């Protein structure tokens, strides 16, 4: 349990409406300058200047349908498109975009993780993961065990790929070289994953997170404020673990070393927050219920 748990703080903050024509932001990423959202309800992206809040919609190319998640690889923006079961790479400087096909047995790509020159994809609709080389276009799909249903997120710990699964409530450790895997259960519903350089983190039961030893697979619950319930998003900013608590429309910041945590309330007018990212100064959430993003200074 944490050494210090501070009650919920009303930190203020602001909501920034997405431009007209942007609906249902479910994906969120930061490229060093802009916040990006993947808008599942309008089949496009939005780009928000993190300094000014100015927002612009970006259209996806033909053949890219229903972007669910979005990531930045240090050079380009990538989306996982669950409607067309493919990926899109977009140059944030020029706006040029290219679709990448996935194998026929890779359905509903839900999440992305970059490992070296490859992209790994969690396939929510086919209970598998796919490794794609953007350079060659070659790909291979690994089926997960029969106990794993609806893969939701991915994270790489430097040696193994970890896969959370929504319906089976499992976390899988996978060898990226062989595809061999081992499944774990920790209680709660492990939606998102993060790696802090030492441990893997995921959502725990009630008002908690689970810290996983990547070598043994052992998990330990780390408590948050009692009102920080129904956590969904988990992110690591280089110093702290951030989690979005859908049950109370709050965000918690946890020190992975001391396990001290602070919980912040989102501003009014932010509904159905999906994810949280930190831009180095403020944290941001994508709010699919109100078609906006929230920016809060902790």
Asked whether the predicted pLDDT for residue 275 surpasses 90, the reply is no
Which of these, 78, 97, 18, lies nearest to 295 by C-alpha position? 18
| Exposure class string for 101-133: b at 16+ Cβ within 10 A, else e | ebbeebbbbbbbbbeeebbbbbbbebbbbbbbe
Say if residues 266 and 273 touch (Cβ distance below 8 Å): yes
Long-range contacts of 212-218 (CB under 8 A, 24+ apart): 212/162, 212/171, 212/184, 212/186, 214/157, 214/159, 214/160, 214/162, 214/173, 217/173, 217/182, 217/184
Query: 5-296 — its CATH code?
Result: 2.130.10.10
Determine the length of the chain. Answer: 298
Q: Could you report the per-residue pLDDT of 203-248, keeping only the tens digit for each?
A: 988 889 999 999 999 999 999 888 788 888 899 999 999 999 888 8
- How far apart (Å, rounded) are the C-alpha atoms in residues 35 and 221? 31
Average pLDDT across the chain, whole number:
93
What strands lie across the sheet with 273-278, from one edge to the other? 14-17, 292-296, 283-287, 273-278
Q: Are 164 and 174 in contact (CB under 8 A)?
A: no
pLDDT at 3: 46
Q: Could you tell me which residues come within 8 angstroms of residue 211 by beta carbon, excluding any fewer than 6 positions away? A: 199, 200, 201, 219, 220, 221, 222, 256
What percent of the chain shows pLDDT beyond 70? 98
Nearest to 142 by CA among 122, 113, 112: 122
CA atoms within a 13 Å half-sphere pointing along the CA-CB vector of 103: 19
Phi, psi of 47, rounded to the nearest 5 degrees: -120, 125
Q: Given a cut of 50, is residue 256 above it in pLDDT?
A: yes
Q: Is the CB of residue 194 less than 8 Å from the CB of residue 234?
A: yes
Domain boundaries, the chain: 5-296
Residue 2: which pLDDT band, with cuts at 50, 70 and 90?
very low
The DSSP annotation for 6-20 comes to EEEEE---EEEEPPT
Paired residues of 109 in beta bridges? 123
pLDDT tops 70 at residue 13: yes
Mean predicted confidence (pLDDT) in 174-189: 93
pLDDT for 176? 93
Question: What does the alpha-carbon distance between residue 108 and residue 119 come to, in Å, rounded to a whole number?
Answer: 15
Which two structure tokens, joined as six digits, stand for 18?
Answer: 């997405």
Of the candidate ranges 25-39, 135-149, 268-282, the one whose mean pLDDT is the lowest? 268-282
């Amino acid at each position: 349990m944490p050494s210090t748990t501070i009650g919920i703080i009303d930190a203020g903050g602001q909501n920034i409406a997405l431009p007209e024509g942007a609906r249902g932001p479910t994906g969120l990423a930061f490229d060093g300058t802009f916040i990006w959202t993947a808008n599942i309800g309008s089949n496009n992206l939005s780009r928000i200047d993190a300094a000014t809040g100015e927002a612009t919609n970006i259209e996806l190319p033909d053949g890219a349908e229903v972007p669910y998640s979005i990531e930045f690889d240090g050079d380009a923006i990538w989306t996982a498109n669950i409607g067309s079961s493919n990926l899109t790479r977009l140059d944030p400087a020029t706006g040029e975009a290219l679709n990448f096909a996935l194998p026929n047995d890779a359905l509903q790509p839900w999440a992305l993780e970059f490992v070296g020159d490859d992209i790994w994809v969690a396939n929510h609709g086919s209970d598998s993961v796919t490794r794609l080389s953007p350079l060659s276009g070659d790909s291979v799909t690994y089926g997960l065990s029969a106990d794993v249903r609806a893969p939701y997120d991915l994270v790489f710990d430097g040696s193994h790929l970890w896969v959370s699964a929504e319906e089976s409530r499992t976390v899988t450790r996978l060898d990226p070289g062989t595809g061999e895997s081992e499944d774990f259960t920790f209680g709660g519903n492990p939606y998102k994953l993060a790696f802090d350089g030492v441990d893997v983190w995921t959502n725990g039961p009630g008002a908690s997170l689970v810290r996983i030893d990547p070598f043994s697979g052992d998990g330990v619950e780390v408590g948050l404020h009692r009102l920080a319930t129904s956590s969904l998003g988990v992110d690591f900013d280089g110093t702290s673990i951030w989690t979005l608590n859908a049950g109370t429309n709050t965000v918690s910041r946890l020190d992975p070393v001391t396990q001290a945590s602070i919980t912040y309330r989102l501003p009014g007018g932010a509904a159905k927050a999906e994810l949280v990212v930190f831009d180095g100064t403020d944290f941001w959430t994508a709010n699919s219920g109100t078609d906006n993003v929230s920016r809060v200074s902790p």
